[in-house]
């Protein structure tokens, strides 16, 4: 065996597996193979001047490399079983929460000290939401911010780099089950290990599907979330964001009885492009440091779609809608809420005259030509519902960027140890379809390391 354990993917899942393995059994020979760059070399070429939009790099610096998709994220670390994944279905609610708290402590001790932990416990907004047909989900959230999140990752990397072998720009191509252990195939070499932890995140979803087929690992079909990113004056939501930072609110639409939910709220943040498998969608960031903050707040409004017979490929459905927006707008489309309601496209002039200054340079257009009516109607209903608890949300100048798509990996069948049907082959993090967040993915990494160390 070349290694006791090979970890594929250096996102939060892989990093916290490595961290815990080194803590519990420093003598283990562990290697991490990552498709992207090390942290310091992760650079998105978009500079807003020479390169204004996504040029579709071979590996996306935002999604890949040490820190995974979470590296430049807002670092909102949600401690909850209410959203962010279904890890608790495998390891139990109490254990899942305990592990999320444990990872939070590690983050705090590696540069996150001084960041604030917000909580929905005891907030009067819960009642206000209920009175307006909205449901506020319960959570504690530590807001590290993109800047501190980076420092935490840097510190963890510095602590691990002499104990664990890191190999960057080394995507795993195949996983071969041996009589004992696994052989991992790379472009021009192979490495053998006793146990293998796969933590390839969303960017590795296609690869994960292929591996499951090759190794006959059962999977279940997935869901896709489709919607828009809303950007408005930060004052409109400040009463909520000052107390809760992020409020996860769910609204059940009157017309279709679909659930629409807020997602990834970024007070004083910026709207950004995201490239998944060459398709440009929208996302948001915010910073803890005051110097980088903007006058706007952004959040996503998303509707989940599950499909039943005969269609199973939810991600392809989401991709097709995103592709449509890319076709019409050359990337992400932006539209004023007032223009959407009046049935007209936004143009440069109306965006320019708008009171909300866009933080992302996107193409003014018409989202009703992109989003299915059912989804768009739900989003419009929710904007009016939110307007009751945060007056101003339904202002004409509120900006909607589309499309935002949250792709989920198909759910891989894993047991309570997060082990697949192959002994010693563990599948964790977002790549397993079980987690969808920094906290759940990190916790899954710690869990599997503890299982391996017995
Ligand atoms: C812009 C953005 C903002 C976000 N903000 C938040 C937030 O505030 N809070 C929150 O909870 N979550 C947030 N998320 C989601 C969060 O980042 C993910 O849930 C989390 O990173 C999942 O961790 P992971 O380790 O499972 O996968 P990932 O972080 O996706 O890491 C997987 C790694 O595996 C590598 N990889 C893939 N395939 C291979 C292969 N074949 N061989 C080798 N390596 C491979 C990838 O390059 C990647 O680095 C955000 C995501 C994005 C994109």
Residue 289 has pLDDT above 80, yes or no: no
| Candidate from 41, 200, 207, 439 with most ligand 1 atoms within 8 A of CB, to mutate | 200
Nearest to 331 by CA among 51, 73, 63: 51
Q: Is the CB of 398 under 6 A from ligand 1?
A: no
Nearest to 424 by CA among 196, 236, 228, 237: 196
d(Cα 220, Cα 312) in Å, to the nearest integer? 9
**pLDDT top residue among 312 and 136:** 136
| Predicted pLDDT at 181 | 97
d(Cα 166, Cα 164) in Å, to the nearest integer? 6
Q: Is the CB of 200 under 6 A from ligand 1?
A: yes
Q: Is the CB of 431 under 6 A from ligand 1?
A: yes
What is the share, in percent, of the chain residues with pLDDT greater than 90? 80
d(Cα 76, Cα 285) in Å, to the nearest integer? 10
| Predicted pLDDT at 354 | 94
Residue owning the nearest CA to atom 17 of ligand 1: 70
d(Cα 45, Cα 59) in Å, to the nearest integer? 12
- Highest mean pLDDT of the ranges 66-80, 126-140, 271-285, 306-320: 126-140
d(Cα 70, Cα 366) in Å, to the nearest integer? 31
The answer to whether 65 and 277 are in contact (CB under 8 A) is no
d(Cα 403, Cα 377) in Å, to the nearest integer? 15
Bridge partner residues of 227 (DSSP): 302, 404
Q: Angle, to 10 degrees, between the axis of helix 12-24 and the axis of helix 438-453? A: 30
Separation of 72 CA from ligand 1 center, angstroms? 10
Average pLDDT over residues 62-81: 90
| Predicted pLDDT at 393 | 98
Q: Is 446 exposed, middle or buried (0-12, 13-18, 19+ CB in 10 A)?
A: buried
- Local confidence band at 75 (pLDDT 50, 70, 90 cut-offs): confident
What is the share, in percent, of the chain residues with pLDDT greater than 70? 99
**pLDDT top residue among 316 and 27:** 27
Separation of 251 CA from ligand 1 center, angstroms? 27
84-94 burial: b if 16+ Cβ within 10 Å, else e: bbebbebbeee
| Candidate from 68, 193, 205 with most ligand 1 atoms within 8 A of CB, to mutate | 68
- For 305, the 3-state DSSP assignment is strand
d(Cα 437, Cα 454) in Å, to the nearest integer? 26
Residue 364, CA distances (Å) to 57, 317, 343 in order: 24, 24, 14
Residue-wise DSSP of 17-73:
HHHHHHHH-TTS-EEEE-SS--GGG---S--SSS--S----SS-TTTSSTTGGGTTS
- Local confidence band at 308 (pLDDT 50, 70, 90 cut-offs): confident
Separation of 194 CA from ligand 1 center, angstroms? 25
Residue 231 has pLDDT above 80, yes or no: yes
Bridge partner residues of 279 (DSSP): 276
d(Cα 229, Cα 399) in Å, to the nearest integer? 8
The answer to whether 295 and 357 are in contact (CB under 8 A) is yes
Average pLDDT over residues 165-169: 97
The answer to whether 230 and 359 are in contact (CB under 8 A) is no
The mean predicted confidence, pLDDT, of the chain is 93
Residue tagged 């994944």 (tokens): 85
- Local confidence band at 91 (pLDDT 50, 70, 90 cut-offs): very high
Q: How many helices (H) and strands (E) in the chain? A: 12, 22
Q: What is the pLDDT of residues 46-59, one digit of tens each?
A: 777 788 777 778 88
Q: What is the pLDDT of residues 380-420, one digit of tens each?
A: 999 999 999 999 999 999 999 999 998 888 899 999 999 99
- Local confidence band at 246 (pLDDT 50, 70, 90 cut-offs): confident
User: How far, in whole angstroms, is CA 224 from its chain's centroid?
Assistant: 13
| Candidate from 11, 77, 147, 285 with most ligand 1 atoms within 8 A of CB, to mutate | 11
Residue 434 has pLDDT above 80, yes or no: yes
Tokens, residue 429: 């993090």
The answer to whether 359 and 267 are in contact (CB under 8 A) is no
- Local confidence band at 279 (pLDDT 50, 70, 90 cut-offs): confident
| Predicted pLDDT at 230 | 98
């Amino acid at each position: 065996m070349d290694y006791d354990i090979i970890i594929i993917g250096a996102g939060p899942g892989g990093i916290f597996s490595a961290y815990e393995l080194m803590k519990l059994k420093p003598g283990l020979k562990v290697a991490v193979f990552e498709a992207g760059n090390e942290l310091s070399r992760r650079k998105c070429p978009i500079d807003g001047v020479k390169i204004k939009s996504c040029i579709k790099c071979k590996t996306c610096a935002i999604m890949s490399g040490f820190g995974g998709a979470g590296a430049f994220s807002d670092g909102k670390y949600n401690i909850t079983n209410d959203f962010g994944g279904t890890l608790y279905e495998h390891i139990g609610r109490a254990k899942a929460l305990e592990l999320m708290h444990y990872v939070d402590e590690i983050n705090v001790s590696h540069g996150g000290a001084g960041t604030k932990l917000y909580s929905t416990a005891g907030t009067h907004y819960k009642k206000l939401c209920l009175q307006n047909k909205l449901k506020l989900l319960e959570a504690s959230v530590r807001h590290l911010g993109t800047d501190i999140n980076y420092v935490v990752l840097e510190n963890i990397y510095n602590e691990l780099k002499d104990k664990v072998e890191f190999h960057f720009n080394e995507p795993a191509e195949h996983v071969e089950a041996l009589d004992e252990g696994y052989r991992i195939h790379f472009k021009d070499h192979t490495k053998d290990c006793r146990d293998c932890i796969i933590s390839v995140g969303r960017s590795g979803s296609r690869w994960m599907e292929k591996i499951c087929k090759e190794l006959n690992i059962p999977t279940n079909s997935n869901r896709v979330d489709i919607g828009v990113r809303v950007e408005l004056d930060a004052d409109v939501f400040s009463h909520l964001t000052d107390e809760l930072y992020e409020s996860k609110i769910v609204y059940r639409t009157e017309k279709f009885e679909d659930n629409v939910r807020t997602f990834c709220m970024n007070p004083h943040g910026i709207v950004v492009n995201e490239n998944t498998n060459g398709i440009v969608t929208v996302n948001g960031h915010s910073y803890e440091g005051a110097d980088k903050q903007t006058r706007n707040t952004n959040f996503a409004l998303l509707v989940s779609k599950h499909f039943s017979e005969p269609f199973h490929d939810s991600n392809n459905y989401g991709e097709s809608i995103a592709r449509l927006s890319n076709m019409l707008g050359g990337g992400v489309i932006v539209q004023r809420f007032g223009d959407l309601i009046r049935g007209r496209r936004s143009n440069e002039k109306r965006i320019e005259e708008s009171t909300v200054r866009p933080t992302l340079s996107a193409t003014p257009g018409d989202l009703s030509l992109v989003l299915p009516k059912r989804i768009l109607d739900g989003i419009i209903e929710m904007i009016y519902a939110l307007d009751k608890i945060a007056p101003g949300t339904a202002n004409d100048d509120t900006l909607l960027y589309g499309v935002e798509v949250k792709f989920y990996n198909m759910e891989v069948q894993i047991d309570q140890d997060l082990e697949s049907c192959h002994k010693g082959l563990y599948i964790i993090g977002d790549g397993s379809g079980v987690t969808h967040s920094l906290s759940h993915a990190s916790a899954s990494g710690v869990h599997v390391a503890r299982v391996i160390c017995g």
